[in-house]
Structure 1
Amino acid sequence: MTDRYSYAERILFVPGDISAGLSLIENNSSALRIFRLLTGTCRLLDSFDGKGILLNRNYLKIPSGLVKRPSMRQIEDAFDDVDLKYVSDCFKKLSENEDFYKLIEFELINCLVAKSRERYLEAFLFLYRIIEGVSYSIPLMYVSKSRSFNKTYKSLQKFIPKKESEGELAFFKNFMESHWSDSWFYNITFDLAMDVIDIEEMRPVYYALYLDKAGKNVLDSTEDEEIKMSFIQFYSFMIELRNRYFHFLQGSWQNNIKTSQVVYPDLFFKPIMDLAVNWIAVVLFEVMKFDIEKAH
């Protein structure tokens, strides 16, 4: 854990078989902490200002939803038809890839804290760092568990981009299209809604910018109200948005976003953030389930 933030348990206070693996008091693994952060069942204490930060949105559901009363229900719902004692045992034994989870945990905390404090631009920056952190690691984690060297090599060959300039993010996209295309979440839509934009006159402006940067990565749209994207389309949208907002070279052919267009940067990223955390939550939980399955 960082020196700045500490966890407060909200649902598991009595020691027992289930709490041994699932309680934030008894188990300090980064995988469990990420899981609990994403289920909206924990609270952080910021040692810098002494304030508590309530993280009460369940991002393992699509769309995400507020958790009014945290309970074991959020943990049960994440694992279909699995005994909680089994889940607890899994998290107790889940020590592989701890370095990976620890790096992601720090970025996720900063992302969720910034979002809870309505610093949406900052939250998106940390979210993008998570995407970059998983883009190369996850495909390698999957293929490294293959029992056949030839199969592993062929898998990696399939994911490697044909253009050298495409890099690790394209590598990850190829992996997802190849490995997760039959998964339950692959065809779920991510609905980018304009009604969360508090300044009404900015809705058509932001809608036009979102639609322009989404390009072909759109399933459907309602003018100035909503843009629908698939799982893989939303990934491409986040990459493009980052490239066009954080890059500002004027001599290139790319149509970068100007600050004068955005006016309110935090407001611009506000509609995106819950969807973006929802997206990365699905990815991280898929990896956890894969690690759990391989460990058992």
Structure 2
Amino acid sequence: MAHFVIYRDRDNFQLNGLDEFAITAQTRPEATCLRVLCGTCEISNSENDEVTIVATNFLESAASENSTLDLSFLDTYQEGITAQDYNEHLKGASESNRIFYDDFLSEITVAACAAENGQGISSFLHIYRAYERISYAFPLIYASKSRDYIGSFDNLKKWLADSKSDGSAGELAFFKKFIDATYEDDEKEATTDFHFLGSDETRRRQFALIRNQILKWRPEDVTPSTIDNQVISVRFDQLHTILLTSRNRYFHQMSGRSDNIKQAAVVDPETFFLVLCRPLLTYVAKLFHDIVIEDMKTPT
């Protein structure tokens, strides 16, 4: 991480014997990532004197504050794994993926600080950049943990096959196929809520934009928890589409395309991306955690 970004414990944070999560010059980047995403850090930037307390446990949900001021959440987050198990893994973790973890930490730090400070556009852009880092790292780490080399190679070939039906290309199309192939149905069907902000007109337009243009939902696709113009509840396996389509069709418009996101539909971009950034940060946090879990495994 850049030398001008400084991580500290939140006031009254308790390490409770998890020494590998102590913030020092030697702390592994994946440990710092988990600290940030679990809402246990105060982050300062010595170049502009900004200080942000990241109190949201994004690994749990976009609306969960880490009120216990420790990492006890990790005792129950992944079935069969305790906070001490993460600590033991970090003691002997390989250096082979350190560049990935360093890059991810840089992006997720900016994304989390911006989200906590209500800066939706900045947070969204760095979530997307973090997602790009994950898109190749996760499948390759996953494949490296298998002793079935032929099966792993065949899977990699299938995941790498080009597919642009949802706007994905290259490594992001690869990653979409990986998610579809490796996550269980109950995981893919789990939903994340996006809560709309602003005036009634802003909510109406932004809700319609996500439902009709980005997700292209038919009436039968609407999830039970969705409430018109207030909350849209999106399946895990559709979060990729929200992230990519919002970026590609708003920030990267192409002349002549009928599916570009018009400014009139967004109304207020800061509000729109503030609606998106916190739930999407939880999505990326889960994927990152799943990478750590794969890294903890011995080849099978």
- Matching residue within 257, 263, 269 for 2:267: 263
Once the two structures are superposed, residues 114-146 of structure 1 have per-residue CA deviations (whole angstroms, 9 ceiling, x without a partner) of: 222222111111111111111122111211232
Once the two structures are superposed, residues 30-62 of structure 1 have per-residue CA deviations (whole angstroms, 9 ceiling, x without a partner) of: 110111111101111221232321001111214
Give the 3-state SS of the residue equivalent to 1:147 in structure 2: coil
**What is the deviation of 1:84?**
4.1
Letter in 1 for 2:110: N
RMSD: 2.4
The residue that corresponds to 1:192 in the other structure is 194
Check 1:201–1:248 CA distance in 2 against 1; reply closer, same or farther (3 A cut). same
Check 1:77–1:207 CA distance in 2 against 1; reply closer, same or farther (3 A cut). same
Check 1:292–1:200 CA distance in 2 against 1; reply closer, same or farther (3 A cut). same
Letter in 1 for 2:206: Y
**What is the deviation of 1:267?**
0.5
**What is the deviation of 1:224?**
1.3
**What is the deviation of 1:288?**
0.2
**What is the deviation of 1:109?**
0.8
The residue that corresponds to 2:179 in the other structure is 176
Give the 3-state SS of the residue equivalent to 1:121 in structure 2: helix
**What is the deviation of 1:240?**
1.1
Verify the 8 A CA contact 1:132 1:169 in the aligned structure 2.
yes
Matches within 5 A, 1:69-218: 69-95=68-94, 96-163=96-163, 166-182=169-185, 185-194=187-196, 197-211=197-211, 212-216=213-217, 218=221
**What is the deviation of 1:261?**
3.4
**What is the deviation of 1:19?**
3.5
Give the 3-state SS of the residue equivalent to 1:186 in structure 2: helix
Distance 2:15 2:176 in 1: 41
Aligned length in residues: 289
Once the two structures are superposed, residues 192-227 of structure 1 have per-residue CA deviations (whole angstroms, 9 ceiling, x without a partner) of: 222xx1333311111111112111385424321222
Give the 3-state SS of the residue equivalent to 2:147 in structure 1: coil
The structure whose RCO (Cα within 8 Å, separation 6+) is larger is: 2
Distance 2:269 2:53 in 1: 24
Distance 2:80 2:119 in 1: 38
Q: Structure 2 length as normaliser, TM-score?
A: 0.87
Q: Structure 1 length as normaliser, TM-score?
A: 0.88
User: What is the aligned-residue identity percentage?
Assistant: 24
Distance 1:33 1:280 in 2: 15
Distance 2:119 2:82 in 1: 38
Check 1:2–1:166 CA distance in 2 against 1; reply closer, same or farther (3 A cut). closer
Distance 1:26 1:136 in 2: 28
Distance 1:62 1:116 in 2: 13
